[in-house]
Structure 1
């Protein structure tokens, strides 16, 4: 057990292992990439609709700051004004919010195949265990994430401070400008600062994506013992599979024996093989094999046929060919149609004789089987 624990993960992951890994919520998708995409597309969206946003907010501010005597006397006008302002804000920001929602949801799903995992919603007392919580907080992974976020924050703050220092004179000039133009110039300064932050984040994101990719495939790798255990899990234990096959054979044999009383004729070897055939000209295009067997199974088929007054005919070559090339529940092979037709014709004559009387029909002799289907050996895998 200890050897398996310290065994190195050198094997490539299987498809089954990858799927199990993804079901646990493990993914190679970088949060930094998601944050960069949100910032980038938000910036593009705001830049594209900047004039619309500016005029909308300008109008909302003018309406909000203008004095109207009805505001004091009529409360309904106050409520209506607030609702109209909220409505205008929602309409103005709707494209931006829609774009933001799409960026948050779709990239993780498309890039890493993240699936919704409802198993995490199950109640688990370990999740509220304070000791396990403290252990997770001070884990190496959490400390590394915290260190990375601090460095990223310092880097972003540095970019903002440097840009603010360069544009300090422009920011001071906004005080003396017309409010309308001051707002536009302020938006331009802020937009350029956002663009620099986004460009500065690109190297960080590239490094994070490479690290996530490396770490993800490192975790996915398997030991040889894990591969063996997974093979047993997916393919099944050989002994258990053999028992299952044996049980399936027994069940199939019982079901086959239940179909023998519904057959029209049983063709025998006469000792080794027995094949039960059924033909209904109204719904079958050819006779079907409904039961077959050798040895004790053949004897049981004959016993059931005798007890249910099913016609039995001995034709060694035809019985061997049907046993070898016929499948249970399937139509007989085409080259055997003529030989089986002779047998069925005799069966129908027997039925007519039992009903009307007269001379007993003679059994067909020397039933010819095509040379390509002539079988003399024994089949190893029988039902």
Structure 2
């Protein structure tokens, strides 16, 4: 047990483990990279639509400051104007909001294969444990996240303060410009500041990508014991499989025992092998094996045959071949048709003797089995 705990994770992860991590939402995708994408796409959209945004905002401002006494006193009219203004603002920024929504959802799924997983929303009392919470608070990952946040705040505040300080005179002179010119000039100042902030955050994103790659592969690596356990889990527990096979064999034996009384003949070795055959010329294309066994099962089949007055014939070669090359519930192999036909002909004669009496039919001797189906091996179990 201690060896398994102290065993180092030195093996590359399997596909199953990778998929398992993805289902839990754990990937090597950097959230800082996604944040940078959002900032970049937002900046590009604002820059691309800046003229349209400025024109429409200017139009809204003009309409907002153009008061009409009757409209001002009419409450319904005022609410309508506010609704119209909000609607216009929404339509102005709709392409911007749509692009942001796309860049928030698509990149994590596209680049990391994150799958929608609602298990994380499930309430878990273990998460309320204060001791576990303290462990997470002082973990390496939380400390790294704290350092990233501090660095980002420092870079954003430093760049913003520096750029706004050198642009302070321009900002003051905006009040002397027309409102369209002031909006345009002010947007250029904001865009330039945003561009510098995005450029300043790029090194943090690059370092975070490297950290996420390292941390992800460190977590996902496996020990040799984990690989063995996963392989065992994938293939199924051997003990369970053995129990299932035993249960299936027991069920098949019970079914076979229940079918023995319907057999037409039992072909024996005479002791080691017993094969139960059934043939209905109206329903079957060929004789069918409804039961077979060796050792104790063979003797049990013979006892059932005697109890139910079923004919028994000793044909060692034929019994061994039928046991080896046929399955319960299936037709006998075609090369054995001739040999089995001799046995069934004798069975029908026995039935006629039981009905009409007379001389007991002589059992067929020297039943020939094709050389390719001759089986001489001895079995000691019923597997």
Establish whether residue 267 from structure 1 lines up as the match of residue 267 from structure 2: yes
Aligned to 1:176: 176
Q: Determine the structure 1 residue equivalent to 2:291.
A: 291
1:35 shift after superposition: 1.0
**What is the rounded CA distance, in whole Å, between the counterparts of 1:354 and 1:76 in structure 2?**
112
Give structure 1 stretches of 5+ with no counterpart: none
Match for residue 150 of structure 1? 150
- Kept in 1, the 8 Å contact 2:273–2:320? The answer is yes
1:211 aligns with 2:211: yes
Alignment of 1:237-276 (within 5 A): 242-276=242-276
Cα distance in 2 for partners of 1:213, 1:3 equals 28
Q: 1:2 to 1:370 in 2, by over 3 A?
A: closer
| Residues 218 and 305 of structure 1, relative CA distance in 2, 3 Å threshold | same
When the two structures are aligned, how many residues end up with a matched partner?
Answer: 382
Contact kept in structure 2, 1:259 and 1:291, CA below 8 Å: yes
Distance 1:299 1:171, change over 3 A: same
Deviation at 1:150, TM superposition (A): 0.9
Displacement after TM superposition at 1:294 (Å): 0.9
Scaled by the length of structure 2, what TM-score is found? Answer: 0.80
User: Could you say what secondary structure the match of 2:318 adopts?
Assistant: helix
Q: In the alignment, which residue of structure 2 is the partner of 1:304? A: 304
Could you say what the CA RMSD is over the residues aligned between the two structures, in angstroms?
3.8
Aligned partner of 2:316 in structure 1 is 316
Match of residue 112 from structure 2: 112
Cα distance in structure 1, aligned partners of 2:256 and 2:136: 60
The separation in 2 between residues aligned to 1:331 and 1:40, in whole angstroms, is 73
Within 2, Cα distance between the matches of 1:145 and 1:280? 79
Deviations 1:113-147 (A, max 9, x none): 33444444444434233444344323333122111
Q: Using the alignment, how far apart are the partners of 2:148 and 2:209 within structure 1? A: 13
CA contact (8 A) 1:28 1:212 kept: yes
Secondary structure of the structure 2 residue equivalent to 1:174: helix
Q: Is the 8 A contact 2:265 2:313 kept in 1?
A: yes
CA contact (8 A) 1:324 1:379 kept: no
Alpha-carbon distance change, 70 to 302 in structure 1, aligned in 2, over 3 angstroms: farther
SS at match of 1:175: helix
- Residues 54, 180 of structure 2: 8 Å contact kept: no
Moved more, 164-173 or 102-111: 164-173
1:68 — aligned with what? 68
Distance change in 2, residues 1:88/1:314 (3 Å): farther
Following the alignment from structure 2 to structure 1, what is the Cα–Cα distance between the partners of residues 93 and 263?
Answer: 77
- Other structure's SS at 1:290 match: strand
Alpha carbons of structure 1 residues 166 and 244: separation in structure 2 relative to 1, 3 Å: same
Q: For residue 43 of structure 2, what is the aligned residue in structure 1?
A: 43
Deviation at 1:31, TM superposition (A): 1.1
Q: Which residue is equivalent to 1:30? A: 30
**Structure 1 residues 217, 284: CA separation in 2 closer, same or farther (over 3 Å shift)?**
farther
